[in-house]
């Protein structure tokens, strides 16, 4: 069953879900990486948004 997008709260805003393509695509666009690069970061560092943003800055450097 798909998520009901009308029922939103902010419990998981600090996470990037690797299972949701739109979240990975949005994050990739936001930090200037490819979707594959973001998936690699999630695999290596977990899905904490703050950690991923920090690592994305290093990745792009």
Would 46 be classed as within a structural domain? yes
The predicted pLDDT at position 5 comes to 63
The predicted pLDDT at position 61 comes to 55
Instruction: Give the range of the structural domain holding residue 36, as residue numbers without chain letter.
Output: 21-60
Would 44 be classed as within a structural domain? yes
Report the 10 Å Cβ neighbour count for 46: 13
Range from 1-5, 9-13, 56-60 carrying the lowest mean pLDDT: 1-5
Number of domains, the chain: 1
Q: Find the Cα–Cα–Cα–Cα dihedral 50, 10, 36, 56, rounded to 10°.
A: -20
Residue 7 per-residue DSSP state:
S
Tens digit of each residue's pLDDT (9 = 90 or more) over 7-17 = 665 666 788 88
Q: Where are the alpha helices (DSSP H) in the chain?
A: 21-31, 35-45, 49-60
Claim: this prediction has a pTM higher than 0.85? no
Would 43 be classed as within a structural domain? yes
Residue 15 per-residue DSSP state:
B
């Amino acid at each position: 069953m798909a998520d009901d997008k009308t029922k939103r709260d902010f419990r998981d805003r600090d996470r990037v879900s690797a299972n949701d393509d739109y979240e990975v695509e949005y994050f990739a666009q936001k930090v200037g990486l490819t979707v594959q690069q973001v998936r690699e970061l999630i695999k290596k560092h977990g899905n904490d948004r703050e950690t991923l943003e920090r690592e994305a800055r290093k990745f792009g450097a």
